[in-house]
């Protein structure tokens, strides 16, 4: 429960202080969080779509960026660092207005300098529509007085969380 509360507080900080998140993905909801893993969803609205009326790739890219930061927050960093690399692979249409896109992001590696995250997006049927990765430079973030890193250590190592997620994804 501590991870969920903390991640939601970081998300609220994004919504009140950032320029991008409140304009594009303000209706994104954090549905679950534990150290190293965050689940979220976004009801698709007009501002999330392209001229074809389907979920715009830029919306998904923004969610890769933001969710990567929230995965870092799930490990206890309030200031979540800055992006050094971001990748999105689009596999299927994410949906249309009125649909719900869901995401799950994992903090694969959490170090003193860099943090690495991966995210998958699913449509309402549970089909994977996109996946992404996000690398964050976090060295300066360790100095934030709002951090609770010691309270949010994962029960298993990052590699085991990441492997469990990959196993779930592949259906093995």
Summarised one tens digit per residue, pLDDT across range 51-81 is 999 999 999 999 999 999 999 999 999 999 9
Q: How confident is residue 172, by pLDDT bands cut at 50, 70 and 90?
A: very low
- Give the pLDDT of residue 22: 79
Q: Tell me the DSSP string of 136-160.
A: EE-TGGGG-TT--GGG---SS-HHH
Summarised one tens digit per residue, pLDDT across range 111-131 is 999 999 999 999 989 999 999
Q: How confident is residue 159, by pLDDT bands cut at 50, 70 and 90?
A: low
Mean pLDDT of the chain: 91
Residue with the two structure tokens 């490990």: 75
Q: Which comes out higher in pLDDT, residue 51 or 157?
A: 51
In 3D space, the residue among 102, 97, 137 whose CA is nearest the CA of residue 117 turns out to be 137
């Amino acid at each position: 429960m501590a991870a969920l509360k903390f991640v939601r507080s970081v998300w609220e900080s994004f919504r009140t202080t950032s320029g991008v998140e409140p304009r594009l993905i303000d209706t994104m909801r954090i549905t679950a969080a534990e150290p190293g893993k965050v689940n979220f969803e976004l009801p698709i609205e007009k501002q999330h779509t392209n001229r074809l009326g389907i979920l715009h790739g830029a919306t998904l890219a923004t969610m890769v960026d933001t969710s990567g930061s929230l995965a870092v927050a799930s490990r206890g960093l309030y200031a979540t660092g800055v992006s050094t690399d971001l990748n999105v692979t689009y596999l299927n249409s994410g949906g249309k207005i009125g649909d719900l896109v869901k995401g799950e992001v994992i903090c694969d590696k959490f170090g003193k300098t860099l943090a690495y995250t991966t995210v998958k997006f699913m449509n309402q049927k549970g089909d994977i529509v996109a996946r992404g990765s996000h690398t964050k430079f976090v060295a300066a973030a360790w100095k934030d007085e709002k951090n609770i890193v010691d309270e949010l250590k994962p029960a298993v190592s990052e590699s085991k969380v990441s492997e469990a997620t990959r196993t779930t994804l592949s259906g093995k």
